[in-house]
Amino acid sequence: YGTEFRCIWHMACQVLLARPSYIKFALKNGFVSEKGNILTNAECCYRYITKNPQFKEEHRGIDDVEIETKILMACKRQHKRVNTEPYQACWRIVQKKRVEMGV
């Protein structure tokens, strides 16, 4: 049908979550995995863009759609070229930026 797919997670890792401000936000609020990686899931991204570190995702279909739509729109508002292809290791973009920051 000519459907085009976009990986919101990959987009968010490139233009929202690799920002020093997100990395500092994540560290301040304990959004770190057991292995010490900055979390890059939709819930943490939404917490960042809404400035609400206590937000809890309901994990209901319509709520997930609304959250991910807001994340997509936040990415698009950056007006930056991004790779929209699915990339399972996109979380590493954020980890690399953290290393570059030295935090």
> In whole angstroms, what is the distance from residue 57 CA to residue 67 CA?
9
Cβ-contact 31, 39 below 8 angstroms: yes
Beta bridge partners of 32: 38
| Mean pLDDT of successive 10-residue stretches along the chain, which has 103 residues | 92 98 98 98 98 93 94 97 95 98 95
- The predicted structure's pLDDT at residue 103: 93
Phi first, then psi: give them for residue 60, nearest 5 degrees.
-115, 145
- The predicted structure's pLDDT at residue 59: 84
Determine the Cα angle at 84 with ends 36 and 35, to 5°.
10
Radius of gyration, alpha carbons of the chain: 14
Name the pTM for this structure: 0.92
